[in-house]
Amino acid sequence: MDRKKALIIGSGVAGMACAIRLANKGYQVDVFEKNEYPGGKLTNFRMNGYRFDAGPSLFTLPHLVDELFIISGKDPRDYFKYFEKEESCRYFWDDGTSVISWTDLDAFENEISEKFSTAPGTIKEYLVKSSQMYHLAGKIFMEKPLHKLLTWWSRDVAKAVSNLYKLDLFHTMHQANKKLLRHEKLIQLFDRYATYNGSNPYQAPAMLNMIPYLEHGIGTYLPEKGIYQITEVLFSLAKELGIRFHFNEKAEEILIKSGKSYGIRTHLGEYSSDLVVSTMDIMLTYRKLLQNQEAPEKILRQERSTSALIFYWGIKKQFGQLGLHNILFSNDYPGEFKALSEGNEAFTDPTVYISITSKDVPDDAPEGCENWYVMVNAPFDRGQDWNKMINDYRSAIIKKINFQFHVKIEDLIEVEDFLSPPEIESRTSSFGGSLYGNSSNNRFSAFFRHANESKKIKGLYFCGGSVHPGGGIPLCLLSAKILSDLCPNP
């Protein structure tokens, strides 16, 4: 008997995770990808002896990748090795203060009390609260479909409701951090976690203060060959499972008849199936692939998450004071977020993030050199003058780095490339180049993310960074898990 068929649009981390889960359920899976390569945002490239991860640089909750191998009957360690980092990030301020955020709690507490003269236990107390939020709300908002009654009729919800005060529902991240941490630089350090899903700490709900627990409670990791290895190993596993990939084949329409999706049309032809999954950005899924269907306008109108501007620099020097992840903080954090939400001009004193995988993966740069991935948060694309923005941001970044490290970094850049919001949009069809779909800038954001299953069209599903439970590698992997649980057994 023929196996039931599933068609997946997009081969990013969500598309591949979904394909692996549905193949394990017994579906014959075909993945359609407009690019000639898998991975979507999670890709890499090489330039003159340097290798750069092009998109994500932070890797948390690695067990979610392992799980895909385990359900496929394989040992993840035969495919994929990663290691836990001892430090999650190095932070630098213009006044010369610097802090290493150690993942070991005692070391981090000592570092903070030494640098900021905080009361003993400040960090531990903060991270206990972060952990409580994660354990009370994370399961509900990250691992379950929010549109199903069963999710709300559960022991997890009852527990969260009886501990509502721990979720700090009526404050923003910044308000909660200000109350708990007091020291200005420490508040800024923890406010930064809002950017992990493209949000603004002065607006995002305090519940997002669960994010630091991911790094400091569960850990921060790096695959031994860099982040792109996640794409490589998932692609190998998918092929071993018999999943067929159709590269350079763009989906143009999801075919619907009598309230049921029965396949897709690409520029090369029509394919029929029992179910269709779109991992394309939800806005563009409705605007391009479902043009004759009523769109959920309220959801599509939600504020988008921020985008990013990244410079990839091959640097002909090594910097001992830098680690894998580094942040050079703005002196005006509220001003930076205001400029990001207004979106018209480059902010003159941006927070600069520098990731250097060659610190841990020596082959990523020639001897004596480093591969710098230099990123600033940038507004999503609304037709701004990007040539000007890119030049202005580049000058501001160089000024900040030179001031902090007493160098002339422009003379050390051996090779250079960049990625801007319009390119993020054109390469991966992410509306406005937003990194994480909708922002989480209000307390109801989670409820305004599109569900993983269409309420109106049978057999149509949605997965990935622009739908429930949100963007970022771990949430995309969870999105695939929720979706696969919602799909019928073939």
Place of tokens 């790096």: 222
Q: Which of residues 36-65 bind ligand FAD (CB under 6 A)?
A: 40-42, 55-58
Tokens for 189, please give them: 């350090």
Query: Does 424 sit near ligand FAD (CB under 6 A)?
Result: yes
Nearest to 15 by CA among 199, 246, 225: 246
Question: Measured from the CB atom, is 33 or 109 closer to ligand FAD?
Answer: 33
Question: Measured from the CB atom, is 62 or 201 closer to ligand FAD?
Answer: 62
- 5, 6, 7, 12: which one contacts ligand FAD (CB under 6 A)? 12
Question: Measured from the CB atom, is 305 or 441 closer to ligand FAD?
Answer: 305
- CB 302 to ligand FAD: min, Å: 16
- 172, 261, 429, 439: which one contacts ligand FAD (CB under 6 A)? 429
Give the Cα separation of 225 and 32 in Å (integer). Answer: 27
| # residues contacting ligand FAD (CB under 6 A) | 36
Nearest to 33 by CA among 18, 22, 45: 18
Query: Does 200 sit near ligand FAD (CB under 6 A)?
Result: no
Give, in order, the Cα–Cα distances in Å from 101 to each of 67, 70, 121, 220, 326. 28, 32, 15, 11, 10
Q: Which of residues 148-177 bind ligand FAD (CB under 6 A)?
A: none
Stretch binding ligand FAD (CB under 6 A), from 105-113, 129-137, 311-319, 468-476: 468-476
Q: What is the DSSP string of 119-171?
A: PTTHHHHHHHHHHHHIIIIIHHHHHS-TT-HHHHSSHHHHHHHHTGGGG-TTS
Q: Do the beta carbons of residue 332 and residue 349 sit within 8 Å?
A: yes
- CB 113 to ligand FAD: min, Å: 29
- 34, 90, 325, 443: which one contacts ligand FAD (CB under 6 A)? 34
Give the 3-state DSSP-derived string for 198-222, with helices as H, strands as E and coil as C: CCCCCCCEHHHHHHHHHHHHHCCEE
- 7, 8, 10, 160: which one contacts ligand FAD (CB under 6 A)? 10
Tokens for 192, please give them: 């930064």
Give the Cα separation of 58 and 353 in Å (integer). Answer: 12
- CB 214 to ligand FAD: min, Å: 10
- CB 420 to ligand FAD: min, Å: 10
- CB 289 to ligand FAD: min, Å: 6
Its sign, for the CA torsion 312, 313, 314, 317, is negative
Question: Measured from the CB atom, is 148 or 427 closer to ligand FAD?
Answer: 427
Q: Which of residues 339-398 bind ligand FAD (CB under 6 A)?
A: none
* x/- letters, 252..291, toward ligand FAD (CB under 6 A): ---------------------------xx-----------
Question: Measured from the CB atom, is 11 or 122 closer to ligand FAD?
Answer: 11
Give the Cα separation of 279 and 48 in Å (integer). Answer: 33
Query: Does 214 sit near ligand FAD (CB under 6 A)?
Result: no
Q: Do the beta carbons of residue 298 and residue 283 sit within 8 Å?
A: no
* x/- letters, 300..329, toward ligand FAD (CB under 6 A): --------x-x-------------------
Nearest to 21 by CA among 464, 452, 487: 487
Tokens for 28, please give them: 């014959």
Query: Does 450 sit near ligand FAD (CB under 6 A)?
Result: no
Query: Does 251 sit near ligand FAD (CB under 6 A)?
Result: yes
Q: Which of residues 216-245 bind ligand FAD (CB under 6 A)?
A: none
Place of tokens 């050079």: 328
Q: How many helices (H) and strands (E) does the chain have?
A: 17, 19
Positions touching ligand FAD (CB under 6 A) are 9-15, 32-35, 40-42, 55-58, 250-251, 279-280, 308, 310, 424, 428-430, 435-436, 464-465, 471-473, 476
